[in-house]
Structure 1
Amino acid sequence: MSRPEYLAPPEIFYNEEEARKYTQNSRIMDIQVQMCERAVELLVLPEDSPCYLLDIGCGSGLSGSVLEDQGHFWVGLDISEAMLGVAVEREVEGDLTLSDMGQGCPFRAGTFDGAVSISALQWLCNADKSCHKPVQRLYTFFSTLYACLSRSARAVFQFYPENSDQMELVTAQAMRAGFYGGVVVDYPNSTKAKKYFLVLMTGGSVPLPKALGTDEDSQGISHTAKRERLKQQRGKSIKKGRNWILEKKERRRRQGKEVRQDSKYTGRKRREKF
């Protein structure tokens, strides 16, 4: 199967039909959620403190929903108008920006406490127009991203490098822009579970986080089980439960949005229909 970035530019590939198909695919949604949760984990954000995050290549807001579920505020950036249209229909809580990441991040210096990106970075390695030069576009992107992050922030990119040369191209331009860090490969010995995360830091020579699936202990406990255990330890509401729904509704009220009144039926599991 051909890589999507070789079929058409992202703003054309992700048309209205593809955007809806992407957002309605339960398998894609589950994978997107898992990868974003892992990316947030690699950001090492302060606990119990909401942060202001940038979601690069936010698409229809699947990863943004993960950020808001964890109590953070976010801004999404994407080049596909159709994808952003689906995000608006889904009533995501983040602010949305139609923009080409290869032309830079159009935000003020020091705006964000961190940034995440799921399945978007590899698109910058492809020249969709005669004027596109991947090296220049990558450097423009990373240098402007570096500027709009606070000096204690991290940026984590889940991406699909085609080969080692492409991975070297990406990391070299990130380091040239001022970042520290490198690539963390989760489950490196698995063909299906293997995931690449580019972890970038704005300052200090801090060791890279440990990858998942590199020893017997991490292989014996699934990543999903670890996430649920950590959430329970931190006292966070189980997703889709009554407390989670009430917390989300309260956030929407604070933002001035219209929300249905709470009742004894809020969050109650409905009977199966025959």
Structure 2
Amino acid sequence: LGNLQPENAGDKPADYWRAGEVRRYHMAPKAARLQAELTQSAASLGGLHRGPGIVLDLGAGGGLSSLTFQALAADSSAVGGPPFVIGLDASPAMLAAVSKEKDLAGIRIPSLPCAAVPGAREDDARLVDIAIGVQWQRQRYDRVLADLAQPLPFRSGIADGVLSVSAVQWLLDGRPEPSSVSAQATDQGEQAASSTSLLGPQTRLRRLFRCLRQASVPCARMALQFYPPKGDHDFGARAVVDASRAEGFDADVVLDFPHRGTAKKWVLVAQAPPALDVDSRNFEVSKSSLRRQGQPAWCALCWPVVAGCCALQARCTAGAGDSDDAAVRARLEQQHVEVALRLARCGRRLREARGELGAAGKSSEIRERLERELHPLQRALATALDDALQAMLPRQQLEDEVLEDSSAKKRRLLSNSASAEQPEAEPPAGPEEAAPTKTQLRSTIMERLQDVLAVIHRAPSEQWALPPPPLGSEAEDKLYF
């Protein structure tokens, strides 16, 4: 099947996840670790319920995401232990593939933010052995054969939280044909992009979120990691978040990088409405509207998804507290630093190629190559970052020179009188403008990170803040900054 996404290879999950495909999946190298990292990312971003109660795991398969979450919840030392997890899946073969403790040996993932461990500090980087979850599965886990596209078999108000890893995309309907979209809708920006005419009815998604709202307790939290369709990520993210909001959830789509590489992962984080009290419900909706103002904060790392925000922005929005963990925040900031460094170096090469610093013989060739290899958005951001860093670097270099002068003065004071009487040699003349090294650029970016983030978190022009058309897989892959 090549690079075809599983949800596009069969009509239903049970049609794809038969015994042979289930064995192939579980035998894949690092499959268990990747699944555990996705679970940790979703649970961390969603702030899922960790104490006694019930958490639903949608598309649980062999239970790896369930036991990973239970290991993380147990590590949080919640009074009463981790919740009872009910795993749902439409594939009998997947449900039968129970994870064994020996297959999980050595898989350790970061603990959830601010886990309540005696004596632990917020900046402690601790790892959790997911094999711990196996013993909790024996006590607090059950499996249900259920199709997520159909009504869920639960009574009202039983779920304290909802987790899902790589399942919700099976319910996503494709983008409607262009002929079905009115010309008027395309000129209405965000409001039109959220309309049924552009996203389609999304009947199965709406039914799922309607069932989840009914099954959830007031203010229950959800974290659903999903894969948008290749080449049309913004449409997929927008369809999922709009379907959840239409059923009353306060929801956002958040970008994270849970693995060691640069692979983007998307998580719907949502909260069920409070108890049906009119005043409190209106207050929550008002607070949510003020936070989002109709559109998530823009981030270069998210593009072409403009319907979501990055995990760093999500944590900044949440503010300090249990949702803010120093180690997690440092990881998210480092991702932005690396992107800014790559773009800034491209911006400098573009400036050189335009003749400000570069050699005339190669300027045209370098400029043409960069403009061919970089997406227009990357070029715009690269130029903006280079301009911003040009303004920062002289100030940084001046501070470095002051430190160097201070050190030289101390050395002169400590020298003997004979050497002090000798005339001081003039320093060799340097070039009029020395290009900053990669190390210097990185140092400046890290020290002035808030200024750099102001560039990365602002669309260069209005066109980049609008929902893009389908880009195709190759064009979208090119935008993995």
Q: Same fold (TM over 0.5)?
A: yes
1:73 aligns with 2:101: no
Greater helix proportion? 2
SS of 1:151 mapped into structure 2: strand
Structure 1 position 25, deviation (Å): 2.8
Which of 29, 33, 36 is the aligned partner of 2:36? 33
Structure 2 Cα separation of the partners of residues 21 and 146 of structure 1: 35
Structure 1 position 68, deviation (Å): 2.5
Counterpart of 1:86 in structure 2 is 97
Q: Is the 8 A contact 2:54 2:83 kept in 1?
A: yes
Q: Percent identity?
A: 31
Counterpart of 2:57 in structure 1 is 55
Q: Is the 8 A contact 1:15 1:82 kept in 2?
A: yes
Structure 1 Cα separation of the partners of residues 201 and 90 of structure 2: 16
Greater strand proportion? 1
Structure 1 Cα separation of the partners of residues 96 and 13 of structure 2: 15
Deviations 1:27-81 (A, max 9, x none): 111111011112222232466x334200000011110111222333200111001
SS of 2:170 mapped into structure 1: helix
Counterpart of 2:210 in structure 1 is 143
Q: Is the 8 A contact 1:67 1:73 kept in 2?
A: no
What TM-score results when the alignment is normalised by the length of structure 2?
0.41
For 2:60, the aligned partner's letter is C
Which of 97, 122, 126 is the aligned partner of 2:169? 122
SS of 2:270 mapped into structure 1: strand
Residues 158 and 52 of structure 1: CA distance in aligned 2, closer, same or farther (over 3 Å): same
1:24 aligns with 2:37: no
Q: Mapping of 1:240-259 within 5 angstroms?
A: none
1:103 aligns with 2:173: no
Counterpart of 2:245 in structure 1 is 175
Counterpart of 1:154 in structure 2 is 221
Deviations 1:236-256 (A, max 9, x none): xxxxxxxxxxxxxxxxxxxxx
Structure 1 Cα separation of the partners of residues 83 and 212 of structure 2: 19
**Which protein has the larger Cα radius of gyration, Structure 1 or Structure 2?**
2
SS of 1:77 mapped into structure 2: strand
For 1:82, the aligned partner's letter is A
Where structure 1 has 5 or more consecutive residues not aligned to the other structure, the ranges are 128-132, 223-274
Structure 1 position 200, deviation (Å): 1.1
What TM-score results when the alignment is normalised by the length of structure 1?
0.69
Structure 1 Cα separation of the partners of residues 333 and 269 of structure 2: 25
Structure 2 Cα separation of the partners of residues 160 and 169 of structure 1: 12
Where structure 2 has 5 or more consecutive residues not aligned to the other structure, the ranges are 74-81, 102-133, 175-199, 274-283, 293-308, 317-328, 336-481
Q: Is the 8 A contact 2:169 2:226 kept in 1?
A: yes
Structure 1 Cα separation of the partners of residues 99 and 38 of structure 2: 22
SS of 1:32 mapped into structure 2: helix
Q: Mapping of 1:214-225 within 5 angstroms?
A: 217-219=330-332
SS of 1:193 mapped into structure 2: coil
Which of 246, 264, 270 is the aligned partner of 1:194? 264
